[in-house]
Amino acid sequence: MIIVMKKGAGQAELAAVEAKIIELGYAPHIIYGETRNVIGAVGEEHGKEKLQILQSMPGVENVVPILKPYKLASLEVQPTPSAVEIVPGLVIGGKEFVVVGGPCSVESREQICETAVAVKEAGARLLRGGAYKPRTSPYSFQGMEEEGLKLLAEAREITGLPIVTEVVNPRDVELVARYADVMQVGARNTQNFALLKLLGQLDKPILLKRGMATTIQEFLMSAEYVLSEGNRRVILCERGIRTFETATRNTLDISAVPVLKQQTHLPVMIDPSHATGHASLIAPMSYAAAAAGADGLLVEVHPCPEKAASDGPQSLRPADFHAMMKKLREFVKVAERTMAD
């Protein structure tokens, strides 16, 4: 249910409604607006009709059922787009089109620091890099773990770029949170609900990637797990889905961007690297993402892709990334967005 407060309703009336929602066995989530506030009452579907009694409380204008199975992620609860602050001065979901660049895996100090400097010079606003790598084969490189996190932190200190890194195991959430500015949930963990609940208890941005066989509704329900635990700082990321096609690693569902924009207030980014699996396809798919209305990109960049421990074929060289970023600005401008210099 959504409880719409009247214009001018005070904090005392808001607090009374919030207390009543809790008394009825539901969790209140307040969304503060410019002219009025609304409260989302989230909980068991059965018996929600009892929330209708809130209609008679002082300051309440209306009580409206939420029709979508995902509540807090829906436009019904929040009709205006969310902007997720990463650090002061950097927001995803605002006017700026934000690009995240870096290697699939952290491999050495030289590699991650060299890449960090290069992507910053090209205009990237955040650095990506995997310290923990969930791989299809148990014999593949699994990442440098905490040592990789320390190297990411060093690269952040050198460049000032906030870091995005993946957390794979629920037991590592606290450790990764000590280093990361943005906690990434990979495609294989999109429906790892134990992990999502833990991340929902953090006060950190969560970058949630879509699973390889996850529908839009299932994707938003995964976001709901994080939101329902109290963390509103969720960013969605389309990274390609599994289809019958073999020419690309996955199939980039570019239509997911406008579809999500019609169903959720959460920011939406695109990962063209994992979506295509080929460095030659990253630039055109990046331009398409900007044109489709995405809020930003995650792009894999490596100083020497042929020697990469993982995902070398889908990694851009720094010079190619710089060239792509230059042309990308034209598409971003047409989409009426801005990019940092």
- The answer to whether 179 and 157 have CB atoms below 8 angstroms apart is no
Q: Are residues 158 and 255 in the same domain?
A: yes
Q: Are residues 40 and 153 in the same domain?
A: no
CATH number at residue 284: 3.20.20.70
Instruction: Quote the pLDDT of residue 101.
Output: 98
Per-residue pLDDT of the chain (341 residues; tens, 9 = 90+): 889 999 889 999 999 999 999 999 888 888 887 778 889 888 877 777 788 889 999 999 989 888 788 989 999 888 899 999 999 999 999 999 999 999 999 999 999 999 999 999 999 999 999 998 665 555 566 678 899 999 999 999 999 999 999 999 999 999 999 999 999 999 999 999 999 999 999 999 999 999 999 999 999 999 999 999 999 999 999 999 999 999 999 999 999 999 999 999 999 999 999 999 999 999 999 999 999 999 999 999 999 999 998 889 999 999 999 999 999 999 999 999 999 87
Q: Are residues 111 and 38 in the same domain?
A: no
Give per-residue burial for 172-193: e unless 16+ CB within 10 Å, then b: bbebbbebbbbbbbbbebbbbe
Report the residue count for the chain. 341
Pick the last residue of a domain from 64, 95, 110: 64
Q: What is the DSSP letter of 293?
A: T
| Collapsed DSSP state (helix, strand, coil) of residue 164 | strand
Q: Are residues 224 and 303 in the same domain?
A: yes
- The answer to whether 315 and 273 have CB atoms below 8 angstroms apart is yes
Number of domains, the chain = 2
- The answer to whether 220 and 73 have CB atoms below 8 angstroms apart is yes
DSSP, residue by residue, 37-93? EEEEEES-STTGGGGGGGGGSTTEEEEE---SS--TTBTTT--SPP-EEEETTEEES
Q: Are residues 137 and 94 in the same domain?
A: yes
The range of the structural domain enclosing residue 144 comes to: 84-334
Q: Are residues 88 and 56 in the same domain?
A: no
Task: Tell whether 77 is covered by a domain.
Answer: no
